[in-house]
Structure 1
Amino acid sequence: MKTFKIKSFIFLLATGFCFLATSAFSQQVADKIIVKVDNYIILKSELELSYQNYLEQSDQTPPPDAKCGILKQLLFNKVMYAKAEIDSITVLDEQVEAEATNRLSTMVQRAGGDEKKLEEYLGKSLADIKEELLEPIKEQLTIQKMRGEITADAKVTPSQVRKFYKNIPKDSIPFLPAEFEVAQMLVYAKVSKQEKERVRKQLLDIRTRIKAGEDFAKLAKEFSADLGSAAQGGNLGYRERGELVPEYEAMAFSLKPMEISEPVESEFGFHLIQLLERRGNLINTRHILIRPKPSKEDMVYTNQFVDSLRNLIVKDSLTFAKAVAEHSADRNSKNNGGRITSMQTGSPKLVAEDFDYNTYLILDTMKVGSVSPPLPFRSPDGKEAVRLLYFIDKSKPHQANLKDDYEKIYQAALNEERAKMLDEWFYTAIKELYIDIDEEYNTCGLLEGI
C-alpha cells in the first residue's frame, strides 16, 4: 500500500477572521462541492481560502503540488470528523460554547476593542459571528480529540531519536536561530481604597437598576470591561469548577438561579455576577466587570516599589526567583522563577518572533545576566503594570545537534511516529466511509494506493 505523509501546510480552521472571511471570499470563487465524505463536504472556497492563508504565511515559492497537499489535509480532517461520528467521539456543547466566546473576545481585541468596528468589517452582528463559529469549532475540537486518541500510544526511545537524527541528510539538518531565555516579574499597580469604593458603588447602582427592571445584557454591553463577554450580554457560557478565578467561582456556586451577587473582587477587577443555570459542577453565568483605574500617583508608587526590588536583586540581597515568587502577579510564570514560555511551543527557549517589538528592543540593549530597569506594561486585558526582565541566557544560531537540541529532535522523531500512525489509521478508516472526489481534483491522488 502506498501512503502519503501528512504535510506541514498551514491550515487555519475557525481562527476568527480567517474563518469568517470565507463567506466574503466564496463570493469571489465559483463555489462548488469538490469532496464528499459521508455527510460532510469540502467546498472549493475552503480549499482556495486555505491556499491563500498558506501563501500569506510562507515566505518561499510554493511547490507545484501545494494545493493538492492542502486538499489532502482537508480530506484527512473530514475523514477524522466523519469517523469520530461513527465511533461516538464527541465534545461537550459547553466546551464549544466557551471556545466560541474566547475566540470572539480575541477578535474584538484584534479590532482594537471596538465591537462596532468588527461588526462593520464582517458585515454581521456579534451574535451572528459567534453562531457561525460554533460548527467549525465543534469540528476542530472533535478532530483534535480524535487525533489525540489515535496517537495516544506514540512513543520513541533514545536510540530511535538518534537513528532519526542520523537519517536526516546533512544538507537538510535545520539551522536554528538564536534562542533567548528570559524571566519577568510583573507587578500590577495598586489602586486606592477610594477608587475601589467608587467601582463598588457603580456596580451596586447597576445592580439596583437591574432589580428595578433594566436589562442585564444591555447594561453589560454598556459598562463591562470584559469585551468578549460584553458582546454576549456578559454571558460566559457553561464552565466547570476550576475554570474561573476562585473569588468569582465561589460566589457563582453560592447563588440561586437568576440571583445577582453583590460586587465581587478578583484579580481582574470587580464583578456583578448572575447565575443563569447550574448542572452539577457546571455553571452558566453572566457578569459585568469594572476595573478600578490606577492614578498617576499609584503608578509612581508601583514603579518605586519595583525599583526597590531591582536594587536588592542587583546587590545580590534578593534572588530574582524569590522576588517573583513573593511579588509577581503573572500566574503563568510565578512558579518557575518567572521564565517566559513560548505561546506556540510552551518552551522557555524563545526566538525573536516570540517577543513583541518593544520587548525585543529592550533585550537587544541588555547583557546576559542583567536585570532591566522598571518597565511600564499593559496586560492584554488592559491592566496597568510595571515589570522587570531578567536576561537569563542566549544561544548562538547553530545547526541542530543531539547535544544541544535533544528535546527538539525528540519531538520531531515523536511527531514522525505520530504521522505514521495517522497514515495507517487513515487508510483503514476510509474503507468505512463513502468518499466522492470531483473529477477536477482526481489528479491530486488523494486516495492513491487504495
Structure 2
Amino acid sequence: MQQKTTILKYIKPLILTAFFGLVSLPTSAQKIKIDGVTVVIGKNIVLDSDIEKFKLEVEQRSEGKIKISDCEMLEQLMEQKLLSHHAIIDSVTVSDAEITSNVERNIQYFTQQYGSPEKMIKAYGFNDLEDLKNELTIIEKENLLIRKEQEKITEKIDVTPEEVRLYFNGLKEKGELPQFPAEIELAQIVINATPTKEENERILNKLNEIKKEIEDGASIRMKAIINSDDPGVTQNGGKYPVTKESNFIKEFKEMAFTLDIGQVSKPFKSQFGYHLMQLHEVKGDTRIASHILMQPNISEEELTATKEKLENIVADIKAEKITFEDAVKQFSEEKETKNNGGLIINPSTGESKFDLTRMDPAFYARVSDLKKGEMTEPFYDVTRGGDKMFKFILMKNRTDTHEANIVDDYVKVQQLALQKKKEETITKWSKEKIKDTYIKLADQHRKCNFIRNWKKETNK
C-alpha cells in the first residue's frame, strides 16, 4: 500500500495537469497515426500510447525514484476515465468561464515558452489559434469534470484528532514516518527607488511623439523595435492576442477592449511602466494588439540614496532602537508585506513557509545560511515589471529536515491522514462503480493484476 501511495504522489498532479493539459496534445494535433485502444470505459477510451507516455512522465517527474509498470499506469488512467464518465452521469457541471480561464492560462504559459503564438501553434501542429483553443477546451472540460467529481465524492470527508493520532502511530510502527524537508519563514523590508517627476514627463512626451508619428503612418512595429522595453518585441513585434480571461495586467486588457481597429491609445501607466497601444484585429472574443513599453530611468544618485536609507534602518534594528516589525510599518513600501509584519508569502502554496530545497537558486543562495533571527545585508532587486528597489530579509523561523513528529507537524500529518482517507473513499467508490459501468479491456492487458476488478472477474 505504501508503494501505491508513493506512486499517487506523482500520478495525481500528472493526470490532472499534464494529461488534460498541453502535454497530451501532440498525439491528436500532430496527426500521428491512430494507435490501439487499450480500454473503453463508458464512452471514454485510453490509447496504447497514453500508457507509455505517462509512465515516462512519472519516472521523469520523480527523478527516477519511481518505476511504474504498464499495468499500474493503466489502472491510474482507468480511474480518471471512470471519474470522468460518472461526472457526466451525476450531472456535474463546469462553467464556460472556468474552462476558458484554464485554456487561456495554458496558452499564455506555452506562448512564453515558445516565444510567440505562431511558434507554439506550429510546434503542436495546429492550423491556427482557434484550432488549438477548440482542442484545449475539450481537454480542460474533462479535467474540471474529474476534479469536481472527486470533490463531490469526498466533500463530507474529515478526520478527527483520534484518527490523526492512529494514522501517525501506524506509520511509526511500520517505520514509514515521512521526512519533512527544511522549511523557512522569511520577512522583508523594501524601499523603492523611484524615478523623478521630470523623468516621468520625459517618457510621456516621447510616447506622445511616437503616437503622432504612428497616426501619421509610421509602423508601430518599427517604433517598438527601436523604443520598446518589452523583450517580446523582438520575437513578435510587440503583437499579442488579448482576451478578457488572459493573464495580462488589468490596464493592458482594458485598453485593448477600449480601442477601435487601427486606433492608437494615449500613453497609459501600469506596474511595468508607460504603454502605447494600437489595436490591429478583432477575432471573436480576441483582440490582436501591439504596444510599446517605456520604463523611466532611475539615476545612480537615487539608487545610492535608497540604499543608504535602508542601511540606516538595518543599523537601527541591530542597535535595538526599533523592532523589525515597527520598522516594517514605518518604512517598508511593499504593499503585499507591509501590513503583515513583512512576512513573505510563498506564491506556490499561499502559505508563509518555503521548502528550502525548492527555492529559486539565487534566492536560496541569499538566505540558506541564515539562522533564525539573522538578516541579510541590504541588496538591490528588480521586479519582472521593472520596479527597482533595495531590500533586506529576516529569517523569522527555520525548521531543518526531520522525521515527522505529531507535535511540531500535526497540521501536515493531519493533511496526510485526510488525503489517505479521501483516497480510500474514492477507491471504495470506484469498486462499486466498476460493477455497473461498461468496460472493455484489450486482450493484451487482461493479464494485468489490477488492484480493482476492472476485468469484472466473478471470483473477486
Does residue 55 (structure 1) correspond to residue 40 (structure 2)? The answer is no
Residue of structure 1 equivalent to 2:453:
448
Deviation at 1:158, TM superposition (A): 1.4
For 1:366, what is the secondary structure of its paired residue? coil
Q: TM-score, normalised by structure 2?
A: 0.75
Q: 1:353 to 1:337 in 2, by over 3 A?
A: same
1:304 aligns with 2:308: yes
Match of 1:86 among 85, 89, 94: 89
Question: Which of 130, 143, 160 is 1:157 aligned to?
Answer: 160
Alignment of 1:227-238 (within 5 A): 233-238=239-244
Question: How much has 1:415 moved relative to structure 2?
Answer: 0.9
2:420 maps to which of 416, 422, 425: 416
Instruction: Percent identity, please.
Output: 26
State the secondary structure of the residue aligned to 2:99. helix
Task: Indicate the residue corresponding to 1:191 in structure 2.
Answer: 195
Q: 1:163 deviation in Å?
A: 1.5
Runs of 5+ unmatched residues, structure 2:
none
Of residues 86-95 and 371-380 in structure 1, the stretch that sits farther from structure 2 once superposed is: 86-95
Separation in 2 of the partners of 1:121 and 1:94?
A: 27
Q: Aligned AA for 1:234?
A: Y
Q: Which residue of 1 aligns with 2:144?
A: 141
Conserved 8 A contact 2:181-2:400: yes
Deviation at 1:435, TM superposition (A): 3.0
After TM superposition, list the pairs within 5 Å mapping 1:171-190 onto structure 2. 171-190=175-194
Aligned residue in 2 for 1:13? 18
Question: Equivalents in 2 of 1:407, 1:448: separation in Å?
Answer: 35
Shift of 1:168: 1.4
The superposition leaves residues 358-391 of structure 1 with CA deviations (integer Å, 9 ceiling, x where unpaired) of: 2222223433212211223343455544332111
Q: How far 1:414 sits from its partner (Å)?
A: 1.2
- Deviation digits for residues 226-261 of structure 1 (CA, Å, limit 9, x no counterpart): 959979943442349xx98676688789x5887875
Matches of 1:226 and 1:176, distance apart in 2:
40
Matching of residue 74 in structure 1 with residue 80 in structure 2: no
Q: Note if contact 2:256-2:289 (Cα within 8 Å) is conserved in structure 1.
A: no
**Distance between the aligned counterparts of 1:392 and 1:107, measured in 2?**
36
RMSD: 4.6
> Residues 188 and 392 of structure 2 are in contact (CA less than 8 Å); yes or no, is this contact kept in structure 1?
yes
Written as runs of structure 1 = structure 2, the 5 A alignment for 1:36-435 is 36-63=40-67, 66-110=69-113, 127=129, 131=133, 132-170=135-173, 171-201=175-205, 203-204=207-208, 225=230, 233-239=239-245, 255=258, 262-271=266-275, 288=291, 290-295=293-298, 297=300, 298-325=302-329, 332-380=336-384, 383-430=387-434, 433-435=437-439
1:308 CA drift (Å): 3.6
Q: Which moved more, 1:216-225 or 1:167-176?
A: 216-225
Q: Are the structure 2 counterparts of residues 18 and 432 from structure 1 closer, same or farther at C-alpha, using a change threshold of 3 Å?
A: same
Deviation at 1:46, TM superposition (A): 2.3
- 1:295-319 deviations in Å (ceiling 9; x for gaps): 4525444433433433333333444
- Where 2:416 maps in the other structure, the secondary structure is helix
In structure 2, distance between residues paired with 1:187 and 1:16: 40
| Distance apart, 1:173 and its partner CA | 0.7
186 and 122 in structure 1: CA distance in 2 versus 1, 3 angstrom threshold: farther
Question: Equivalents in 2 of 1:246, 1:411: separation in Å?
Answer: 36
Give the AA of the match of 1:89.
Answer: V
Distance 1:213 1:90 in 2: 50
SS, match of residue 295 in structure 2: coil
Q: Is the 8 A contact 2:20 2:142 kept in 1?
A: no
Deviations 1:124-182 (A, max 9, x none): 78837953544333332333333333322221121221121112143111122322222
Distance in 2, Cα, partners of 1:215 & 1:137: 38
Shift of 1:198: 4.6
1:406 Cα deviation after fit: 0.4
- Aligned CA distance change for structure 1 residues 114 and 252 (closer, same or farther; 3 Å): closer
Give, as a single letter, the amino acid of the residue that structure 2 aligns with 1:98.
S
Contact 1:13 1:136 in 2 (8 A): no
CA contact (8 A) 1:42 1:74 kept: yes
Partner deviation per Cα, 1:266-303 (whole Å, 9 max, x = no partner): 323335578999xxxx9989674625143452544443
Letter in 2 for 1:422: I
Change (3 A) 1:395 1:199: same
Q: Distance in 2 between matches of 1:337 and 1:391?
A: 12
Aligned partner of 1:262: which letter?
K
Note the residue ranges of structure 1 that are not aligned, 5 or more in a row: none
**TM-score, structure 1 as length reference:** 0.77
Give the Cα separation in 2 of the matches to 1:407 and 1:262. 52
State how many pairs are aligned.
438
Larger gyration radius, structure 1 or structure 2: 2
Judge conservation of contact 1:224–1:289 (CA < 8 Å) in 2: yes
Between the aligned partners of 1:90 and 1:410, the Cα distance in structure 2 is 30
Alpha carbons of structure 1 residues 100 and 319: separation in structure 2 relative to 1, 3 Å: farther
Of 188-197 and 220-229, deviating more is 220-229
- Change in Cα spacing, 1:227 to 1:73, as seen in structure 2 (3 Å) is farther
Q: For residues 72-97 of structure 1, give each alpha carbon's deviation from its aligned partner in whole angstroms, at most 9, with x where no partner exists.
A: 22222222233333344333334333
Residues of 2 paired with 1:39 and 1:214: CA distance? 56
Shift of 1:50: 1.3
Distance 2:225 2:449 in 1: 49
